[in-house]
Every structure is written in C-alpha cells, then in structure tokens.
A and B are shown apart, each in its own frame.
Chain A
Amino acid sequence: MKDWRYWLAEQRGTLLAFGIFVVMFVIYTSNHPAGFTANVVQTASNKGVLLAFVAMAQTLVVITAGIDLSVGMIFTLTNCLASWLVVGTGIETAFGVLAVLGTGLLCGAINGAIVIYGRLQPIVATIATGAVYFGIALLLRPFPGGSVNEGLADALTGRLFGFVPASLVTLLAVVLVVWVPFSRSVLGRAAYAAGSSEMAAYMSGVPIRRGKFAAYALAGLLAAIGGLFLTFFTYTGDAAYASGNAYTLFSIAAVVLGGVSLFGGKGSAIGAIFGALAFRTIGDLLFVFDFDPLWQPLFQGVILLIAVSLGAFALFRVRNRLEWFL
C-alpha cells in the first residue's frame, strides 16, 4: 500500500465527518433566508464552536476507551464560575480566565485520578463527579445571572477582518495548542495505545496511566474553554441541569459522527469537531425549513440513534461469530 492510502484509511472517519458537515452546511445556507453571509456564518460558528470544544473534550477520554459523562457538568460549572471571575480590568479578566481554565483542568484531573488510580469504572465515577460539579455550579449560581468582560466577549464571538468568525479562529488556535502537541506526544500515543489494547500497551512499557490521566485532565480543560465561550456568548452564568446533560449527550453524538471509535484507540479530535459542527447544522436545519421547534429534541434524538446504529454495519464484516462478544 502507498503512504497516501494509509493516511486515507486512518483519516476516513474525519473526512466522512467533514463531508457530512459540508453537505449539511450547503443545504443550510442555501435555504437560509439571509443566504451565505458573514452574519449567518458567524452565528452558526458561535453555536457550533461551543459543542466542538465539549466534543474535543469527550474525544480525548473516548480515545482511551473510557467515557466522561461529566463533561457537560464541567462545562456548566466553568460557565457559572466565569460569570463571577471574568470581569473587571484587563489583568483581573486575565486572572479570571486562568482561574476558570485551571478549575476545568482540576475537574478533569479529579475524574482521571478516580478512574485511573481509584480503579473505578468511568461511567459510574463520572456520573457521580458530574453530580458534584453540578452541585458546585448550583452553589455559584442558584439563579441565572452574573456578567462578563464584554469587550473580550465581543472580540471572541465577533468577526476578524469583517468576515472570519473569531470563534473559529480560537477553535483553530486551541487545536494547534492542545490537540496537535498532545496527539503527537508520548502521552498522547500512550492514550491511544491504552484505548487500543491496555494489556498490550502495559506489557510494552507504555506509560498508560500517565497517558490516560493527561487525557482526562485535558478533557476538563477543553470543557472549561467551552464553558468560557458559553459565558462570552450569553453574558451570564446559568446552572441548568438540562443543558449540561444535553451537552454531554451531544458530545457523544458528535464524537460518533466524527468517526471516533467508542471502543477506544481510533479517531481524532478534528473528526469530532466536524462531527459537532455537522450535528449542530443538522439540528438547525429544522429552523430553516420552518418546522415547529418542538420537534427539535426528537429530531436530534433520531439523528443520534441513527449515528450510533451506523457502527453496526461493521457486523457484516465479522466472519467469526465469537467476535460479536468483545
């Protein structure tokens, strides 16, 4: 096989997600009353980027064959925290942003420590820590409210040079600063190896514990970046249980659409980003076609159900029936 065919096989999920996104976005903008304008793109990217950050967070954990059901709650918690801290003068704001990101990192690290060093199952552990994070969010914001440094918020949710959405640029920057170095580092490879076959990785002396821990911690950081953006987007903090849960759910949908294997070891955060953007665009298609917004939850649920069922096609390739049972 040639090199480019290896590359194609590795990136198939990402490319498929990119394709779905482009098709959906073309349908979306061509039917949008305002058409393909800078405003439409800006609004779409602001909404999409929120989910993209949470989906990236979920990807990191899913790659290690785990799952983080607390990402939505970290997202909510950091949103509430940002509505207190990211205010005031430039320096105060900068410290606020750092504190919010640090909190996210800490939440992720706690998840990682419990799952890896405490040896608990990720599902139960992260549901429980999610309850704790939501409780703290509720302490911070019993009622929706608060404020944010509006100059910074408008700059990051606005447009650069009149047409490039600033949120997309931030997303790109985060990919370059967090995802690219991580996935190329020893820790990143260890996270992939742990997801692919933990036993084999352990036997080969790969630092699986540190790799997995880094993945969980960085997932918290990425969810915090998402929470920060939600604050920039809404100017308020809101400890909403339903919205936190929805983001957790949608992040899994985005990860699956983005070609990341839920059994671990396969996929990339880039794919998950396109998965998130595609999922958001599909959800918004309903508005373009003038459906009742009441149908949106059902529509998104059905997309999710179809997306997760697509993986079942792999069953047709199974020769030995024992491979049904992992």
Chain B
Amino acid sequence: MSETTVSGLAGRMPKFLRRADPAVLTAFACIVLLLFLGSLYSRSFLSPEYLLQQLKVASFLGVIATGMMLVILLGQIDLSVPWSVAAGAMMACAAAAYGTVGVALAIPFGIFCGVLIGIVNGIGVAYLRIPSMIITLATNAVAQGLMVVYTGGFSPQDSATGAMRYLATGFAVPGVPNAVLIWALIGAAMVFVLTRTGFGRTVYGIGNRERAAYLSGIDTRRVVMIAFAVSGGLSAFGGVLLAGYASKAAQSMGDAYLLPSIAAVVLGGTSILGGRGSYLGTVAGVILITLLQSILSVMQMPEAGRQIIYGVVIVAMLLLYGRAPASR
C-alpha cells in the first residue's frame, strides 16, 4: 500500500479517527470481531449481564496491566508480577488474622508488600543498572521463596477480609461492580498522571532516550524507581482484589497474570521499547485478552489449547503492528 492511498483514506475519515493510533483501532476492531464471533456461537455473548461480568473479570487484569504499562513506557519490563500479585494477596489475608487492627490494615499492608518488591526492582534497575528483565526475575524468585517459607508450601488458610470482598464483588453504585469502578478510578488517575503531570512527561521522555532526559536535568533514576514501586503496588493491589474475589489467596494465583498483562499492554499499541503508547490502548488490550480467554473457556477449550491459541494470537498480532524498524 502506498503512502498516498493511506493519507487519502485518512483525509476522508472523521477527525477523531485520524488522530487515533492504528494499533488501538486494530485492538478495538479485534474486540468487535471477537464479540461477533462469540455471538455466532451463543446469543448470550451480547447480553448486558455477560458483558458486565467480562468487564468485572477484566478489571483485575486492568489494575495489574496499568502498573505494567508504566514500566513498559520506560522501556523496561516487570517480570515480578506473579509473586507480587501472590504476595499482595497472601500478606493482606495474613494481616487479617491479627484482630481488628489487622483487618483494618489488611489492604494497605498487602499493597505495601508489593511496593517493597517494586522498590527493590527499582533500586536494581535505576541505581545498580541491572537489566530490568533480570532483576525482576530475581525479586520474583525471592518473593516466591519468602511466600513458600511463610505458608509452608501450602495455600494459606487465612481468608480475605470483608472489605476486600466488598471491593472485589460488591456494588457501591447499583449495576456497576466495584471492581470495575476501581479500575476506572485507577485508569483515570493513570491517564491524568501520564498526560497532565511532569512525572508522566518524564516517563515518556525516559522511554524515548534516558540520556537526553538526564541531560535535561531530570533525576531519571528516581522516576524509574517510583515507576517500579507503583507497578509493584498495583500488582499487589490486583492480588488483594483477586483474593477478595476468591475469598482467599492461593500459591500460584499470580502465574496467570504475567503474560496477559504484558500482552494487554503491547497489544494496545504501547511500544515494548518504551516511549510510545496510550492508556486507551491498554484498556483495549485488557478487554481483548479477557474476551479471548472467556470465549476459549466458554468453548470448553482445554488448558493446552488455550495456551497455544494465546501464544499464537499474541505473536500474530505483534507481527501485524509491533515490529521494530529494519536495520538499514
């Protein structure tokens, strides 16, 4: 396709479409396609109850992917998501066992543990200059080790507090699950931070070229560390919500969120090299992944098939629009 046809076509499109990122549009188009395919399989796919239920399930992934996006915008990656999620959930449930004070502090304590993991990641990446992929794998292993020692290798017996259950499954506004509200709040905050604050601009700047950002007088290392701390905290908060949803924490509850969170961010058009991407894309990616998972499970696809389709879809979509420029 030549450049002229693209611009000619774009010239006739309404303004908001012309300004939108093609990756985000592709992601939304895929959502519509999935819904269409699903509705061929069963009419209940387009019912409001089903869609709201999907949005609720998506909100857990959405919260986790928000943190992941912040880190990916920096050109880094956070592979410590699995045990940040599990640690957040387990520590929140553990705190609940310590009387009324423990119950009151359960949620903040869970998030605090995630932030701690994130700070270790941040120190490693920003100050010790260790590749983020490596240090986050290592802190993931340490967090896993700590949780295994703490639980004795079994799923902990402590259960989630009422507040955690309320956040994950309650309805503060009739008709809208609390989990969706929380995702909307966190998403709105993220959009505000990314587009309206100096911190957000710095994140994009560092993702494009950290040297240039540093020479512009920005303390880039502090920004990177804060981003990792936020990512850890949001992962742990996702874990707290999941624990509230299932009313307890489990050993490998976070494993199922690493690949989807990265995939959601990347499918939403955020460059894995950093510096480019919008939160709208991440929202699209999260919904896309959740719908794909849901359709595969409704079709009673076994776990093996789900993993294969999942990997193939991610590679295929990345090949469509996530390619690096050729070295010429």
Contacts and interface: CB of A to CB of B under 8 A. Distances in A.
Interface of A: 67, 114, 118-121, 123-125, 127-132, 134-139, 142, 198-199, 202, 241-242, 245, 249, 252-253, 256, 262-263, 294-302, 304-305, 308-309, 311-312, 315, 321-322, 324-325
Contacts of B129: 312, 315, 324
Interface in B144-182: 144-146, 148-149, 152-153
Nearest to B316: A128
Interface string B250-270: 001001001100110010000
B279 to A, nearest CB: 19
Contacts of A114: 315, 319
Secondary structure type dominating chain B contacts: helix
A297 B145 contact: yes
Given A120-B323, A142-B304, A325-B214, A304 B148 contact: no
B310 interface: yes
8 A-B pairs with least C-beta separation? A298-B145, A135-B307, A301-B141, A135-B308, A132-B311, A138-B304, A131-B311, A312-B128
B124 interface: yes
Given A127-B259, A304-B141, A309-B130, A118 B319 contact: yes
A135 B323 contact: no
Interface in B290-328: 302-312, 314-315, 318-319, 322-327
Nearest to A121: B272
B27 to A, nearest CB: 16
B146 A256 contact: no
B273 interface: yes
Contacts of A119: 323-326
Contacts of B327: 198-199, 202
B305 A135 contact: yes
B222 interface: no
A136 B304 contact: yes
A253 B133 CA distance: 12
Contacts of A127: 258-259, 262
A295 B304 contact: no
Contacts of B128: 309, 311-312, 315
A256 B133 CA distance: 13
A67 B168 CA distance: 37
A294 B135 contact: no
A301 B145 CA distance: 7
Contacts of A123: 77, 133, 272
A202 B2 CA distance: 28
Contacts of B153: 294
B211 A322 contact: yes
Given A128-B311, A135-B307, A262 B134 contact: yes
Given A121-B324, A131-B307, A297-B145, A256 B134 contact: yes
Given A120-B318, A256-B134, A322-B214, A132 B312 contact: yes
Nearest to B328: A202
A315 B314 CA distance: 37
B137 interface: yes
A130 B326 CA distance: 25
Given A127-B258, A300-B145, A302-B142, 13 more contacts: A114-B319, A120-B322, A123-B272, A124-B314, A128-B314, A130-B311, A242-B252, A252-B137, A262-B131, A295-B149, A297-B149, A298-B146, A324-B129
Contacts of A242: 252
Nearest to B134: A308
A200 B320 CA distance: 29
A249 B255 CA distance: 14
Contacts of A241: 255
B66 interface: no
Contacts of A299: 145
Nearest to B323: A119
Contact of B138 (A202, A295, A304, A321): A304
A249 B309 CA distance: 24
Contacts of B308: 131-132, 135-136, 139
A305 B315 contact: no
A298 B130 contact: no
A263 to B, nearest CB: 8
Interface string B186-198: 0000000000000
B149 A294 contact: yes
A301 B138 contact: yes
Most A-side CB within 10 Å, residue of B131, B134, B142, B143: B134
Nearest to A295: B149
Nearest to B141: A301
Given A301-B145, A325-B214, A124 B130 contact: no
Contacts of B273: 121
A305 to B, nearest CB: 4
A124 B148 contact: no
A154 B179 CA distance: 55
B323 A298 contact: no
28 contacts: A118-B318, A118-B319, A119-B326, A120-B319, A120-B322, A121-B324, A123-B133, A124-B318, A124-B322, A125-B318, A127-B259, A128-B259, A128-B263, A129-B315, A130-B311, A134-B307, A139-B305, A198-B327, A199-B327, A241-B255, A263-B131, A299-B145, A300-B141, A301-B143, A304-B142, A305-B135, A308-B124, A312-B128
